[in-house]
């Protein structure tokens, strides 16, 4: 293949990317990986289990094979590949919830990226008529998928967090915007001496009860409903904000950080888990997250210098940045 042919093929993969997203979404939404977990099946056998038309499913499966999600084997049957197994509900590092999330409302919002580029209005709000978090509050099924997607891969990241930060001198961890409690559960699981406050909106905290119970840390957690733009629980030794600050513009991010600063116990730390953009525009996967914030919300990813300036304006000093997993870094801040 010539260089020009390779360039054309690469360009076509770029513009046809929406097709792989939607094929992966269909595989995830129908739970096909779960049905194929015990061995190959024909399109007809699969279709009868998930109540779709066999011929149509067969056509989609052949395209899924092209994308490496399944493989076609003798007898017109399909089996999972190692990639496809990651779409299973109980797979280690499962991306099933992420595939569903990205194939539904996120997909529609990204279709209006140009609107955000032209207007600075979140495309999500333009398409669905409500701000992102308000929409999820009104659609519990969307909220549940979002929570599950945000928890995907969390174990690896949070193990790295626990390795990167010394919690031995802490007593109370406040998980600001803690959602279903997955961050606090991992930290408490590693540190039996700690207690935690999970702080989020009331409808979000509903999912935390069962998650924390399953993780055997419920007795060491308090679930506190509230609005982090107004206040956060006081007297914490470590305020953990996992992918919270990037959701918001500087004004609202500053409000959250100032509330943390006002509530902190003496000697406490603010711990941000965020993607950090490179300073000089080097290609970075964090750029993808940055544009996602433009599409969904009014937020953005930031460079280390931008985080330092934001923290300083909130009365905090950026003391350390530690890359911990994939695009995520641990940003430690202390009172000025």
As annotated, the active-site residues are 246
The residue among 8, 15, 14, 24 whose CA lies nearest residue 67 is 24
Could you tell me the strand order of the sheet in which 41-42 lies? 41-42, 77-80, 70-73
- DSSP code string of 225-287: E--TTT---SS-SEEEEES-GGGS-HHHHHHHHHHHHHHPPTT-EEEEEEEEE-TT----THH
- How far apart CA 76 and CA 70 sit, in angstroms, is 12
Strand partners, 197: 174, 222
Q: How far apart are the first and last CA of the chain?
A: 59
Summary count for the chain: helices (H), strands (E): 18, 11
Between CA 246 and CA 256, with CA 252 as vertex, the angle to 5 degrees is 80
Per DSSP, 168 falls in state T
Per DSSP, 40 falls in state -
Contact by Cβ (8 Å): 162, 268? no
- DSSP code string of 73-125: ETTTEEEE-HHHHTTSTTSTT--HHHHHHHHTHHHHHHTTHHHHHHH-S-HHH
- How far apart CA 284 and CA 278 sit, in angstroms, is 7
């Amino acid at each position: 293949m010539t260089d020009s042919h390779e360039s054309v093929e690469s360009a076509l993969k770029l513009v046809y990317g929406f097709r792989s997203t939607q094929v992966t979404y269909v595989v995830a939404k129908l739970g096909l990986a779960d049905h194929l977990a015990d061995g190959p099946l024909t399109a007809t056998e699969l279709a009868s289990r998930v109540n779709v038309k066999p011929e149509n499913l067969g056509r989609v499966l052949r395209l899924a094979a092209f994308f490496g999600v399944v493989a076609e084997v003798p007898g017109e049957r399909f089996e999972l590949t190692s990639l496809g197994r990651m779409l299973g509900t109980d797979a280690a590092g499962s991306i099933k919830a992420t595939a569903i999330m990205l194939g539904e409302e996120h997909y529609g919002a990204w279709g209006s990226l140009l609107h955000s580029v032209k207007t600075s209005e979140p495309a999500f709000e333009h398409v669905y008529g409500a701000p992102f978090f308000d929409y999820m509050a009104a659609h519990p099924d969307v909220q549940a998928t979002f929570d599950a997607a945000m928890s995907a891969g969390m174990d690896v990241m949070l193990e790295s967090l626990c390795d990167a930060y010394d919690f031995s001198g802490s007593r109370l961890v406040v998980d600001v915007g803690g959602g279903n409690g997955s961050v606090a559960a991992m930290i408490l699981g590693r540190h039996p001496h700690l207690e935690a406050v999970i702080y989020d909106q009331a409808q979000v905290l509903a999912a935390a009860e069962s998650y924390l119970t399953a993780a055997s840390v419920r007795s060491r957690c308090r679930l506190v409903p509230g609005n982090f733009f107004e206040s956060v629980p006081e007297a914490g030794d470590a305020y953990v904000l996992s992918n919270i600050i990037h959701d918001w513009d500087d004004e609202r991010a500053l409000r959250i950080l100032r509330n943390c600063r006002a509530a902190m116990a003496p000697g406490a730390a603010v711990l941000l888990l965020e993607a950090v953009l490179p300073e000089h525009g080097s290609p970075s996967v964090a750029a993808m997250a940055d544009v996602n914030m433009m599409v969904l919300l009014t937020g953005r990813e930031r460079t280390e210098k931008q985080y330092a300036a934001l923290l300083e304006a909130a009365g905090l000093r950026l003391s350390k940045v530690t890359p911990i997993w994939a695009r995520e870094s641990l940003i430690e801040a202390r009172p000025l």
